[in-house]
Structure 1
Amino acid sequence: MQPFYELTDAERDGLAAALAAVTKSPYEDYPAFSRSVTDLVDRGEVPAFFAEAVAGIRAERESGTSDAHVLRNCPIDPVVPVLNHDDPLADKYAKKKTFVGEALLELFAQLAGTPLLAYDTRFNGDFFTDVIAINRYSGKQTGFSDGELVFHNDRTAHPVRADFISLVGMRCPGGELTYTGFVEGRALLSHLTAEEQEILRKPYFITPFDVFSRDNNKSLTVSEAHPILEREHSIRYLDTHTTVAPDSPPEAKDTLIALKNALVRAEKKRHRILTGDLFSFANQDGLHSRDKIEVNDPERARSRWLLKTYAFRDEANAEQHADKWINGVRGRVGD
């Protein structure tokens, strides 16, 4: 993918200076951290080019022009610590003393009008999480493995799911070719008949909870029966895992096969996240994957670290889940 906007070095440094003024820890007090970023906006300290770039992305989302965008050469923290792979979260808490990457993601979310979402049972309820290899998940189908990922939505089985995902490249080894694939829901619909789409909109399907979710909440096993297609072109699907629910009619299985064929045929975008890239894409209006195209040094490839946020589509969508907020923290849900 071509970047939607590439910051000059001077623009990057100017934005970095503004973000460095946010010293509240998002891991100790997210609401205070978020307010500090809002204060930057209110004081007029956000560079105009960045606000204009995000406004352009927002306009493309609303018009349906694109659901995936890259901002290149964004500021990240001056010191990016090396995290161990046994417990990278604890290591991050101990070593990461600045929050430029987090402030960048928070600012992007605020300007885009997409409030952040967090899960109380994952990463201590943090709004900023890490896509990084964790030793105990090696070879498993989770973002915390060191392997590839099939096309999917994040948190497919969960009742509250992000509308958008944003990733910032904190450490992306130059010699290793790892790509994020993305296929828009619109592209899938173009390869499905009207009858197939109608069947996919019925609650004939189930999705097992991912291994990381099950480890954090032993009561989670499999989702309720759900449709695969929702709204106009939203899709709820985890390839090789989502299957037909018991007692569903025979045509459900045939249509699931048709969806798998459509996924192979549909036009795809692929982006190699570089250090300093901010890559934001629709989680429900598309599917994404991880493809390891060329790995020359497996240990170096395992050091890849992306800072990640989940976000709601807009303020109104967030408010639909207000009864689920944990301890009164807006955006933190308990599933």
Structure 2
Amino acid sequence: MHTFAQTGHHLAEADARTMWELARRAAERRGEQSSGPNVNDLLLDIPSDLRAQLIEFSTGGSREGFFLIRGLPVGDLPATPSEHRTGGLADHGTAGLLTLVADLLGTLIGYEDEKSGTLIHEVHPVRGEEQRIENSGSVAFDFHTENVHHPLRPDFLGLLCLRQDHEGVAATRVASVREAYGLLPTAYQEILRRPVFRSAYPTSFARNIRGPRPSSGLHPVLFGHEPDLFMRFNSHTTTSEEPLAVAASKALAEALEQVCHEIVLSPGDLVVVDNHIAAHGRAGFTPRFDGQDRWLRRCYSLRSMPRWAERMMSRPRVVPALTDITGVL
């Protein structure tokens, strides 16, 4: 484990002002266009250095699997929510920031099965859910691929910090398979490439499902070849019935821990994670529920939506329900 390595971009004041103006315009369009916000013209005005670095990151060649933008404005903020809420900051400039970055990388998306298709997610503690392994909890959250169970997993996720936790200890933890792979014995590397694993639905997808949480079909944890290695893994929910595969999963989690980058996000920091290269997690913290608790906003980006899935969408940018697409991919 080590602290954050310098892979990213710190905005100059003039560029930060430019981004905020673009973000406000993007946020205004979210409510104006029934087909979803079209911000393509605004993307051309993103400061050129930042735009070029993000486009390069989007090609999938990163070794660390993340890119950190610092110095973004976050505007005036209300108290940190204390309960589940959607739409409270729908037209806020921070929604525009995330839309711009997600659309530069690919396309901003949501999931019909998760938070009713909301495109921008609020990540903050909720009283009574502190122990949940999801964005409403405050306990440590181990390494995971976002939406590991899903055939159309996001290519990227963005986490924008609006407020730190009170003690400044809630690090976002990011670990790349490309940095961890060489720490694994050959036998473990080989079995992690075999389709002998299943991944349970995360609790955010299973809140309204009665009985045991469903799981994905069989899949490998590792795929691709060096240097273009990729990963599909959740240390909480990815399991196998084969003893060697179980041991390999544990070894992978330990290897990811060894190469982990710990990033304590400050207000205005946006970390973008390549969801196929790096797993991410969170250090634990103690919420106070005083309106000043840790608060991030999250977005997903997908490089390309299959045409058939796009035609099945009930709303723009929202991936169809799993009951409609299970078995297609």
Band of TM-score, shorter chain: 0.7 to 0.9
Q: Deviations over 1:249-273 (max 9, x none)?
A: x432333343244334x32211111
- TM-score (ref. length: structure 2): 0.83
| Aligned equivalents of 2:182, 2:291: Cα separation in 1 | 36
Q: Which residue of 2 aligns with 1:69?
A: 67
Name the structure with the higher helix share: 1
Please, which moves more after superposition, 142-151 or 202-211? 202-211
> Tell me, what secondary structure is at the counterpart of 1:221?
coil
Displacement, 1:174?
5.7
Return the match for 1:103 from 96, 99, 107.
96
Q: Does 1:58 align with 2:22?
A: no
SS at match of 1:147: coil
Where does residue 20 of structure 1 map in the other structure?
A: 24
TM-score when normalising by structure 1? 0.82
* Cα distance in 2, alignment partners of residues 25 and 133 from structure 1: 29
Give the aligned partner of residue 114 of structure 2.
Answer: 122
* Equivalent position to 1:186, from 137, 153, 178: 178
Q: 1:121 to 1:28 in 2, by over 3 A?
A: farther
Paired with 1:30 and 1:168, the residues of 2 have a C-alpha distance of 25
Measure, in 2, the Cα distance between the counterparts of 1:328 and 1:97.
Answer: 16
Q: Which residue of 2 aligns with 1:200?
A: 192
Provide the rounded CA distance (Å) in 2 between the counterparts of 1:301 and 1:269.
29
State the alpha-carbon separation in 1 of the partners of residues 31 and 115 from structure 2.
Answer: 10
Partner Cα distance (1:81, 1:74) in 2: 18
Say if 1:136 and 1:321 are closer, same or farther in 2 by CA, change over 3 A. Answer: farther
Looking at structure 2, the residues matched to 298 and 25 of structure 1 have their Cα atoms a distance apart, in angstroms, of: 35
Q: Rate the CA distance shift 1:30–1:147 in 2: closer, same or farther, 3 A.
A: farther
Determine which of 238, 246, 260 is the counterpart of 1:253: 246
For 2:94 and 2:147, the matched residues in 1 are separated by: 23
**CA displacement, residues 198-245 of structure 1 (integer Å, 9 cap, x when unaligned):** 211112122222222211444852222221112342222221432213
Gaps of 5+ in 1: none
Aligned-partner residue type, residue 181 of structure 2: L
1:158 paired to 2:150: yes
Give the residue type in structure 2 aligned to 1:179: A
Letter of the 2:41 partner, please give it. D
**CA apart distance, 1:31:** 3.5
Cα distance between partner residues in 2 of 1:259 and 1:308: 26
Q: CA RMSD in A?
A: 2.8
Cα distance, 1:143 vs. partner?
A: 2.0
Q: Determine which of 9, 15, 34 is the counterpart of 1:11.
A: 15
- Is 1:234 the equivalent of 2:224? no
Counterpart contact for 1:176–1:301, Cα < 8 Å: no
Distance in 2 (CA, whole Å) between partners of 1:300 and 1:148 is 21
Distance 1:323 1:64, change over 3 A: same
**Counterpart-to-counterpart distance in 1, 2:7 and 2:290:** 25
Instruction: Give yes or no for the alignment of 1:274 onto 2:266.
Output: yes
Deviation at 1:101, TM superposition (A): 0.9
Query: Aligned letter for 2:201?
Result: F
Distance 1:256 1:70, change over 3 A: closer
Q: Give the superposition deviation at 1:28.
A: 8.1
Pairs aligned (count): 313
CA contact (8 A) 1:117 1:333 kept: no
Structure 2 residue matching 1:52: 3-state secondary structure = helix
Q: What do the CA deviations read for 1:141-179 (whole angstroms, capped 9, x no partner)?
A: 112212220111121222221121111112224643210
Match of 1:333 in 2: 320
Contact 1:121 1:217 in 2 (8 A): no
Amino acid at match of 2:169: L
Write the distance in 1 (CA, Å) between the matches of 2:299 and 2:232: 19
Tell me if structure 2 keeps the 8 A contact 1:173–1:300.
no
8 Å Cα contact 1:324/1:333 also seen in 2? no
| CA–CA separation in structure 2 for the residues paired with 1:23 and 1:255 | 45
Hey, what does 2:40 align to over in structure 1? 38
CA distance in 1, matches of 2:218, 2:14: 51
Identity across aligned pairs (percent)? 21
